[in-house]
């Protein structure tokens, strides 16, 4: 049997690889590459973070100190002086306003509104009939007085006292039905009456 030494042996075809194994191999390679990339980025970022943290200066919240509120005594004193030294309008009377702002009033809303515009902000001095008294401040510097009368307009008065004599007068001497003379500013209308704020006592 003759052997042909010049003719190369036939090339055997390589067996086909399993596609699944190829996919898994590529997936593993990609996973390792991604992890390596994350590690490199983390190593690069760490010095920058450390540098930033070392150069940061502690910050303190800025605190603003609010101005202390003015003492109540100062406000009361200023209010009393303003009312006491102002002149009052004798042409505006509690008797005149009673039929306008009372519950049984026959005046229209337009007439009441026009009257309110005319008297609002005016200082008056009235002698009224006490219905109720309430101490608004523990030291007796501010009081709330409600008055009501058959021929006078009802009033809601915010009254400021000037001394212990006035405080005692309000706390111990006045009763429902007694007369009280006040001088104050008409603040507005609250049917069936007039709001006077601020006001002071007028003692004989």
190, pLDDT greater than 50: yes
Q: What is the pLDDT of residue 14?
A: 55
The better pLDDT of the pair 85, 145 is held by: 145
- Look at 7-21, 88-102, 157-171 and tell me which has the smallest mean pLDDT: 7-21
49, pLDDT greater than 50: no
User: Once rounded to an integer, what is the mean pLDDT over residues 90-99?
Assistant: 96
Q: What is the pLDDT of residue 27?
A: 67
Q: What is the pLDDT of residue 166?
A: 96
Q: How many angstroms separate the Cα of 30 from the Cα of each of 17, 27, 33, 143, 186?
A: 20, 5, 5, 85, 87
Q: What is the pLDDT of residue 19?
A: 66
Are 107 and 100 in contact, with CB atoms under 8 Å apart?
A: yes
Residue 64, φ and ψ in degrees, nearest 5: -105, 130
Overall CATH class of domain 72-201: mainly beta
Average pLDDT of the chain to the nearest whole number: 82
Are 112 and 105 in contact, with CB atoms under 8 Å apart?
A: yes
Q: How many CB atoms lie within 10 A of CB 133?
A: 19
pLDDT band at residue 164 under the 50/70/90 scheme: very high
Distance between CA atoms of residues 191 and 6, nearest Å: 131
- Delimit the domains of the chain by residue range: 17-53, 72-201
Are 101 and 194 in contact, with CB atoms under 8 Å apart?
A: yes
71, pLDDT greater than 80: no
């Amino acid at each position: 049997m003759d052997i042909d030494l010049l003719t190369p042996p036939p090339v055997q075809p390589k067996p086909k690889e399993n596609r699944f194994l190829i996919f898994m191999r590529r997936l593993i390679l990609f996973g390792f590459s991604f992890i390596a990339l994350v590690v490199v980025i983390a190593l690069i970022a760490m010095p920058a973070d450390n540098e930033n943290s070392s150069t940061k200066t502690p910050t303190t919240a800025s605190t603003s100190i609010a101005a202390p509120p003015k003492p109540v005594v100062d406000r009361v004193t200023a209010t009393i002086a303003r009312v006491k030294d102002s002149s009052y309008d004798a042409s505006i009377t509690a008797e005149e306003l009673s039929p306008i702002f009372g519950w049984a009033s026959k005046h229209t809303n337009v007439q009441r509104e026009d009257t309110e515009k005319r008297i609002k902000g005016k200082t008056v001095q009235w002698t009224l009939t006490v219905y109720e008294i309430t101490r608004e401040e523990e030291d007796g510097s501010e009081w709330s007085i409600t008055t009501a009368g058959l021929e006078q307009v009802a009033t809601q008065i915010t009254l400021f006292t000037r001394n212990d004599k006035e405080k005692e007068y309000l706390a111990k001497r006045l009763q429902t039905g007694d007369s009280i003379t006040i001088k104050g500013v008409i603040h507005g209308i609250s049917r069936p009456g007039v709001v006077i704020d601020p006001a002071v006592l007028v003692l004989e």
